[in-house]
Amino acid sequence: MTTQHPDPARRRFGVNYVPSGGWFYSWLDFNADAVRRDFEDLAGLGLDHVRVFPIWPWIQPNRSLIRRRGIDELLELIDIAGEFDLDVAVDLLQGHLSSYDFLPSWVLTWHRRSLFTDPAVREGITRYVDRVSRAVASRSNVFAITLGNEVNNLWPANPTDAEESARWAGDLLRTVATAAPYVLGLYSLYDAAWYDPEHPFHPADAADLGHLTTVHSWVFNGVSALDGPLGPATVSHADYLVELAAATSTDPARPVWLQEIGAPRPDVPDADAPAFVRRTLDHVLTNPALSGVTWWCSHDLDRSLADFPDREYDLGLFTVDHRRKPLAAELAAVIGEQRAAPLTGGRVLAADRPGLVCEVDLRERPDRRAEVAPGSAFHTTWVRLRASGPLAIVPATRAADPDYLAARGIAGLVG
Amino acid sequence: MTTQHPDPARRRFGVNYVPSGGWFYSWLDFNADAVRRDFEDLAGLGLDHVRVFPIWPWIQPNRSLIRRRGIDELLELIDIAGEFDLDVAVDLLQGHLSSYDFLPSWVLTWHRRSLFTDPAVREGITRYVDRVSRAVASRSNVFAITLGNEVNNLWPANPTDAEESARWAGDLLRTVATAAPYVLGLYSLYDAAWYDPEHPFHPADAADLGHLTTVHSWVFNGVSALDGPLGPATVSHADYLVELAAATSTDPARPVWLQEIGAPRPDVPDADAPAFVRRTLDHVLTNPALSGVTWWCSHDLDRSLADFPDREYDLGLFTVDHRRKPLAAELAAVIGEQRAAPLTGGRVLAADRPGLVCEVDLRERPDRRAEVAPGSAFHTTWVRLRASGPLAIVPATRAADPDYLAARGIAGLVG
């Protein structure tokens, strides 16, 4: 069977880079040696890339001022990644990181206006996206540009509706495509876009906009509450989101990047973290739509930094003093196995897996998103059947289309 | 007559320092030579000080992180001022500048909490105030520390009430006093505190808190609309505010610092700016309560920077390319005259001026502030009588107190 699915031998494995010293505040005191020391940790894991997060308002403090040094420091960080043979994915509009929103004074208080809808703000953001995209595209190890990390977290502080959000993202992705034509241009949303019926960012946008679909799998969204740190709902959640994303695309071969997956306390206690890594990857690596996995995150957060949600402090593969944690060793082991036998090993692609028909049309009925959310009847059935092996999700509208099913590697339907 | 009024021979003349290149965004790319070049402009005017404005969230990006380099750069700027024999007043919590509020992500959106009332935020601010105050007090040319520029502009984005605002400022001023015992500790409010009956920052706080009272005189608040750029209400407004402040203090000799006065377009056209400077200073320099004048501001704002209110662009004594504007020459001339003959020149102190009785008790009845606002009957009467010479404001509660009147240099009552 021939599909355009991502080549499993070229799947990407990477981490979301969180600086070990001073978190993202360290951009204000950029230190190339500190970055080098952090990337040295990562290079030992067999990763091929890092995803990096400049802080938007520090680079563009005024709508019309884009700081050259801010961009230069980002480029320097990209070059340091290159020293370790790491490719780089750049997120532009941070924006949202680990509960904190970084917003410039030109969209706050006396200048309050929605970054999704205000024409002047959009003009300013467009210039930022253009300028930073052009700059980073000059580096051969940059492979992807995402508009910003989970930009839907910038709502409701910035009002929008589904139509405006879609236009905002579509317009900015065209800007990226023009500025960086040989780089993937991507959109990133947290999973309210998939599960919350009222959320003004829709599944169809996630599945249509950009060169591939990104998903962020966080088990504190409800699945870990269903069956604990290593239960089937928990360790299959990344695979479930990849399936939902694949099923929502009109293109049966559209790749899906698991752009964030992490082992958050207390949902996943430290003792269970290595098993969580292996079982989660065991599930998702069978998925033919999967183009790559990027772990959240590289380094723990120094507990001297205040007010983060508690789970954010210990998400690193490394401690702040560069000790490799057990889950990092497990991740490295899985990557090693996968690279050694991408097609024939224990995690062969399930190219002839069955599919579970989903009556909810996420493209047309985003108001029905609760029916596929963690704990819904559909999710519960999928998790139960997934225990027997890889299981696709098939939209009812495509269930009678043999070409579609073949293109997605689906051999028969259940449910 | 003996009073403790400020020694007119030691009155301070200075400017509010607005960097000529990149406005306050230039803190993100601190350049000592650029600061030096700006201060070189100022030194030629006969000024003795600059008031400077670090950007709070860039120094304290996390509640528990105060950046050493941010403080070091502030100290370097203070030292550069010293090279030009300029003393320095430091404002801490910016906070508000020229319509923009700079607020850290730890008081925004998902971490939204009022900086006036939230205990954790107040703890963080207290540490910032302590740390920066200690640092700048190590420099012998620092003479004043203000909590922040017009912190009442941070409301209503940060909810407060009059009691909370007073406690907030009082507590922080105690922190400054402990950290910097030999420096003036000050509070700064824009004039809604004097004129707006609903405003949750009260005249009594302005008149009681800190070592002296600061006032900011901006004629776009209504007075220029009464009688134009050089009309009596306009050019006497600074003096009026100094009198209101003096009259509101329980201490008849409490000094008042005209911490901001500027010639904003279009209220004051360029052609009238020099006359506005001279006439405004002619009025206010007769006031025995006046301890100093700090012009807003040193340098124009580059028009390439977006979204400022139009009047903010041309407030400088110098253009962005360092040309001295006519109003700067006039300011220098007035300062020269004043320094040459502080007691005996054309602007002798009006130590025996009459006083106009004000029936509104601003200390006890802040709800009646509208009755002293620009255009009110009281203000109109004061402006009319002020045309004949210096005129104090005397609260009705003190009108029968000869010691009080003598201490304020008031010879008789009118009205």
Q: A24, A59, A71, A110: which to substitute to probe chain B, counting the most B Cβ within 10 Å?
A: A110
Residue given tokens 């009552």 in the structure block = B413
B69 → closest Cβ in A29, A105, A157: A29
Alpha helices in A249-373 (DSSP H): 273-284, 326-340
Pairing of strands B142-146, B184-186: parallel
Tokens describing residue A59? 């680079």
Angle, helix B237-248 to helix B273-284, in steps of 10 degrees = 30
Q: How far apart are CA B375 and CA B364, in angstroms?
A: 22
Pairing of strands A353-358, A392-395: parallel
Phi, psi values for residue A99, rounded to 5°: 90, -15
Please choose, from the candidates B320, B29, B57, the residue with its C-alpha nearest in 3D space to the C-alpha of residue A105. Answer: B57
Please choose, from the candidates A355, A282, A257, A263, the residue with its C-alpha nearest in 3D space to the C-alpha of residue A48. Answer: A257
Asked if the model's pLDDT at residue A344 lies above 80, the reply is no
pLDDT in tens, chain B (415 residues): 344 678 877 899 999 999 999 999 999 999 999 999 999 999 889 999 999 999 999 999 999 999 999 999 999 999 999 999 999 999 999 999 999 999 999 999 999 999 999 999 999 999 999 999 999 999 999 999 999 999 999 999 999 999 999 999 999 999 999 999 999 999 999 999 999 999 999 999 999 999 999 999 999 999 999 999 999 999 999 999 999 999 999 999 999 999 999 999 999 999 999 999 999 999 999 999 999 999 999 999 999 999 999 999 999 999 999 999 999 999 999 999 988 876 654 456 777 899 999 999 999 999 999 999 999 999 999 999 999 999 999 999 999 999 999 999 999 999 7
Q: How far apart are CA B263 and CA B280, in angstroms?
A: 10
Least Cα separation, residue B54 to chain A (angstroms): 14
Asked if the model's pLDDT at residue A34 lies above 90, the reply is yes
**What per-residue confidence (pLDDT) applies to A345?**
44
Q: How far apart are CA B327 and CA A176, in angstroms?
A: 47
A105 → closest Cβ in B61, B63, B102: B102
Residue A57 amino acid letter: P
Asked if the model's pLDDT at residue A348 lies above 70, the reply is no
Q: How far apart are CA A326 and CA A276, in angstroms?
A: 11
End-to-end distance of chain B based on CA atoms, in angstroms? 24
B62 → closest Cβ in A25, A63, A105: A25
> Does the pTM of the predicted model rise above 0.80?
yes
- In B281-408, which ranges are E strands? 290-296, 353-358, 392-395
Q: Which residues contact B403 (CB under 8 A, 6 or more apart)?
A: none
Phi, psi values for residue A90, rounded to 5°: -110, 125
To 5 degrees, how large is the angle CA A226–CA A232–CA A235? 100
Asked if the model's pLDDT at residue A4 lies above 90, the reply is no
Residue A146 pLDDT class (50, 70, 90 cuts): very high
> What is the predicted ipTM?
0.96
Please choose, from the candidates B162, B195, B246, B241, the residue with its C-alpha nearest in 3D space to the C-alpha of residue B371. Answer: B195
**CA nearest to B153 within chain A:** A110
Residue A339 pLDDT class (50, 70, 90 cuts): confident
Q: How far apart are CA A334 and CA A332, in angstroms?
A: 6
Is residue B278 a contact partner of residue B330, using CB atoms and an 8 Å limit?
yes
Average pLDDT over residues A267-281: 98
**List of chain A residues whose C-beta atoms are within 8 Å of the C-beta of residue B305:** 62, 64-65
Q: How far apart are CA B257 and CA B266, in angstroms?
A: 25
**What per-residue confidence (pLDDT) applies to B339?**
87
- At A228-273, the pLDDT tens digits run 999 999 999 999 999 999 999 999 999 999 999 999 999 999 999 9
**List of chain B residues whose C-beta atoms are within 8 Å of the C-beta of residue A100:** 105-106, 110-111
**What per-residue confidence (pLDDT) applies to B347?**
55
**List of chain A residues whose C-beta atoms are within 8 Å of the C-beta of residue B110:** 99-101, 153
**List of chain B residues whose C-beta atoms are within 8 Å of the C-beta of residue A64:** 304-307
Pairing of strands A410-414, A392-395: unpaired
Phi, psi values for residue B101, rounded to 5°: -105, 130
> Which of A138-142, A247-251, A411-415, B173-177 comes out lowest in average pLDDT?
A411-415
**CA nearest to B61 within chain A:** A25
Q: B110, B118, B302, B313: which to substitute to probe chain A, counting the most A Cβ within 10 Å?
A: B110
Phi, psi values for residue B341, rounded to 5°: -145, 70
Q: How far apart are CA B40 and CA A80, in angstroms?
A: 40
Residue given tokens 């540009």 in the structure block = A145
- At A58-98, the pLDDT tens digits run 999 999 999 999 999 999 999 999 999 999 999 999 999 99
B63 → closest Cβ in A64, A70, A306: A306
Q: How far apart are CA B104 and CA B62, in angstroms?
A: 7
Structural domains in chain B, sorted by start: 8-348 (3.20.20.80)
**List of chain A residues whose C-beta atoms are within 8 Å of the C-beta of residue B120:** 306-307
Tokens describing residue B322? 């360092």
For the range A133-138, what are the long-range contacts, defined as Cβ-Cβ under 8 Å and sequence gap of 24 or more?
Answer: A133/A92, A133/A175, A133/A176, A133/A179, A133/A180, A133/A183, A134/A179, A134/A180, A135/A71, A135/A74, A135/A75, A136/A74, A136/A75, A136/A78, A136/A88, A136/A90, A136/A180, A136/A183, A137/A179, A137/A180, A137/A181, A137/A182, A137/A183, A138/A75
B25 → closest Cβ in A29, A62, A154: A62
Least Cα separation, residue B271 to chain A (angstroms): 30
Pairing of strands A49-52, A12-16: parallel
**Interchain CB distance below 8 Å, B307 and A22:** no
Residue given tokens 């690193």 in the structure block = A316
- In A66-132, which ranges are E strands? 87-91, 96-97, 100-101
